[in-house]
Amino acid sequence: SQQGEEDPQALSIQEGENATMNCSYKTSINNLQWYRQNSGRGLVHLILIRSNEREKHSGRLRVTLDTSKKSSSLLITASRAADTASYFCARGSGTYKYIFGTGTRLKVLA
């Protein structure tokens, strides 16, 4: 499959805890992006990390990229109930395609 693999498929944590989601892929990339999707809605872009970057931060989000292991992780610190959503990684493929993983469903309990 060309799709990335997110791990875990589902994650349930208490408010205030950190949430970590992982994404693995098989072929080389020029960048990797993370998106969030609230239930029944469209996807919203969170962060893009380029292949020559190892770590990137945006507010409570921290993304790491290990190209030697072909993996990326998304860390959400001090999670809130509003972070409940599905999270997808997407990698560029060829010139215009973006390959999306199947997502991690995160539930943050208040």
Among 79, 85, 101, 106, binds other proteins (CB under 8 A): 101
CA gap 25, 61 in Å, rounded: 21
Whichever of 37 and 77 has its CB closer to other proteins, that residue is 37
Residues 3-62 that bind other proteins (CB under 8 A): 3, 30-31, 33, 35, 40-45, 48, 50
Closest CA to 37 of 85, 84, 79: 85
Phi/psi for 93 (5° steps) reads -135, 125
Among 14, 59, 95, 110, binds other proteins (CB under 8 A): 95
User: Would you count residue 98 as binding other proteins (CB under 8 A)?
Assistant: yes
CB 110 within 8 A of CB 17: no
Query: Which residues in this chain contact other proteins in the complex, by CB under 8 A?
Result: 2-3, 30-31, 33, 35, 40-45, 48, 50, 88, 90-98, 100-103
